[in-house]
Chain A
């Protein structure tokens, strides 16, 4: 009996550790432009209620399993004014598209610059996708003369050079963060053009990590962890007592 309890608690402890790790990752990215906080959801798969499968495997009387999955909270971050002509922040559900050798990547980080060819790129040098290919600022135009409209149209000294490609996912939960501020779409679902997303030039979208929220979660995790450890040690005391009684 106590071994079962101990394994349950061990599972709980490792789940809490992962949650703690997710919180530290969020906090580390509290100032990363376009970062979306990640949260971990635990589901208790009880041996009797859950666990039935399409294959018809019967539920067994095993101890419950903790399933943890992580989600990205895609809620809007606040827009911070920078005045840089190549900073764009999105308001709405859309994503900017980056062209890479490995296919399209999606991002909310619109801190762009130009490469030596005058193309709009991000910090990793990935080209920003326009609706008609990469956006190139002609050499005769200074980047201070670049204007980006709310609809994503890019004007260089008054002449339109293209339009930012902004897409929207029916279910952004399928997106996988791959680091360097971009998401990958494993389903390759060819997202549609965004409808309600506006582009704001000269702004950056701040990280949507809220310090207070994370701190509260942090305290919760620490306390739950402590409580679980207590139960483990109490149960081991209990078994010691049992053995003592049994052996006289």
Chain B
């Protein structure tokens, strides 16, 4: 009986985690480049009370065994890397990626991070940086006399500067891809970090070999779908309620049993 209480408690914890994840997804519904997460659950190990084929009464063999489950546990959170909608912002340093890949970002301490958020800008030195001010690799410096900057679908950054009538190339924004993007860890600030599970990044040119293409003047919206999140929220809430209900029923049963000794 007491085991069943902890079983139901694992159920409540699991539903609680779903609600937490949904809350985070919904909170980031308007975060550029945000990818929604979901939790993958697994049933817990079974307690073998009786092996199949064991003798249960004189000469009677159990047709099947008896295993008692002990609940559920979260196996992992999964980031779902489906494409978000592209929204036209008209800003010349906003870039959105259509397809697979990440922008590579360099932190001040030299570490590399990865993002889908392409709301870039230039800092005081003319360097292309993220909204948090981190350098976008491989490092592009926009001259101070630039008239207009254009970013091609392959990531090539060209500029018209001063009184020149021909465009000059500043460099190319390269993209990286991982064998297992779901293995990247989220660090907040729209940044993801490499892990042993994600595998080593492959660098490449936008639009080639499975890499997404780059759209200037657009931002990739989050891929959170409000309706489906809300539906999941209701499901989780109800499941939580029912698990709590199961504990209450067990409590009543124990209470009845306790009345035996009076």
Partner-B contacts on A (CB < 8 A): 13, 16-18, 20-33, 35, 38, 40, 45, 50-55, 57, 60, 65, 67-71, 82-85, 109, 111, 113-118, 123-124, 137, 139-145, 157, 173-174, 176-181, 186, 211, 214-215, 218-219, 221-222, 225-226, 229, 232-233
Residue in contact with B68 in the complex, picked from A22, A111, A113, A115, CB distance below 8 Å: A22
Name the distance in Å between A69's Cβ and chain B's nearest Cβ.
5
Cα distance A21–B249 in the bound complex, in angstroms: 11
Question: Is B126 an interface residue when CB atoms closer than 8 A count as contact?
Answer: no
Q: Are B71 and A233 in contact (CB under 8 A)?
A: no
Among A27, A140, A233, the residue within 8 A (CB) of B8 is A27
Instruction: Give chain B's interface residues, CB within 8 Å of chain A.
Output: 1, 3-5, 7-8, 10-11, 14-15, 18, 38, 40-46, 49-50, 52, 56-60, 62-72, 75-76, 78, 80-83, 99-101, 177, 179-183, 196-200, 202, 209-212, 235-236, 238-239, 242-243, 245-247, 249-250, 252-253, 256-257, 259-260
| Across-interface contacts of A214 in B (CB, < 8 A) | 242
**In the complex, which residues of chain B have a beta carbon less than 8 angstroms from the beta carbon of A116?**
179-180, 183, 196-200
Contact between chains at A215 and B242 (CB < 8 Å) = yes
By the criterion CB–CB under 8 Å, are A29 and B249 in contact?
Answer: no
Whether A27 contacts B243 by the Cβ 8 Å rule is yes
Closest residue of A by beta carbon distance from B18: A31
The CA-CA distance from A82 to B46 in the complex, in Å, is 29
Cβ-defined contact, B66 with A69, below 8 A: yes
- Contact A142 B211, beta carbon cutoff 8 Å: yes
Q: Do A113 and B64 contact each other (CB < 8 Å), given the known contacts A32-B42, A179-B43, A229-B259?
A: no
A27 contacts B58, C-beta separation under 8 Å: no
B52 cross-chain contacts in A, Cβ below 8 A: 174, 176, 186
Which residues of chain B are near A178, meaning CB under 8 Å? 45-46
Which among B68, B198, B253, B260 has the greatest number of chain A C-beta atoms within 10 A? B253
Q: Is the CB of B180 within 8 A of A114?
A: yes
* B257 A13 Cβ-Cβ under 8 A: yes
Residue in B closest to A227 when the chains form the complex, CB atoms:
B256
Once the chains bind, are A123 and B4 in contact (CB under 8 Å)?
A: no
Docked-complex contact A27 and B246, CB < 8 angstroms: yes
B210 in contact with A25 (CB, 8 Å): no
Nearest CB of B to A201, in Å = 12
User: Could you list 15 further interchain pairs (A-B, Cβ under 8 angstroms) beyond the known A21-B7, A174-B64?
Assistant: A18-B68, A24-B4, A27-B8, A28-B14, A29-B11, A31-B72, A116-B197, A116-B199, A123-B75, A124-B75, A139-B202, A140-B209, A143-B181, A214-B242, A229-B260
**A25:B71 contact, CB within 8 angstroms:** yes
Q: Which residues of B contact A179 (CB under 8 A)?
A: 42-46, 69
Residue among A23, A32, A51, A140 making CB contact with B59, cutoff 8 Å:
A51
> Which of A45, A69, A124, A177 has the most C-beta atoms of chain B within 10 angstroms of its own C-beta?
A69
Is B75 a contact of A180 with CB atoms below 8 Å?
yes
Complex-state Cα separation, A31 to B82, whole angstroms: 22
Check B11–A177 contact: CB distance below 8 A: no
Determine which of B100, B245, B253 lies in contact with A142 in the assembled complex, contact meaning CB atoms within 8 Å.
B100
Complex Cα gap A19–B171 (Å): 68
Query: Quick check: B42 and A25 within 8 Å, CB to CB?
Result: no
Q: How many Å lie between the Cα of A82 and that of B194 in the bound state?
A: 25
**Chain A hits for B15, CB < 8 A:** 31
Residue contact A68 to B76, C-beta cutoff 8 Å? no
A29 touches B43 (CB 8 A): yes
Distance of A33 from chain B, by nearest CB (Å): 7
11 contacts between A and B (CB under 8 A): A18-B49, A24-B4, A27-B243, A50-B60, A53-B60, A69-B63, A111-B40, A115-B180, A178-B46, A179-B43, A179-B46
Closest to A59 in B: B58
Minimum CB–CB distance from A233 to chain B (whole Å) comes to 6
Shortest CB-to-CB span from A237 to chain B, Å, is: 11
- Complex CA distance for A165 and B76, rounded to whole angstroms: 24
Q: A21-B3, A35-B43, A142-B99 are in contact. Are A57 and B236 (CB under 8 A)?
A: no
Q: Cβ of B67 and Cβ of A177 under 8 Å apart? A: yes
A107 to B72, CA, bound (A): 16
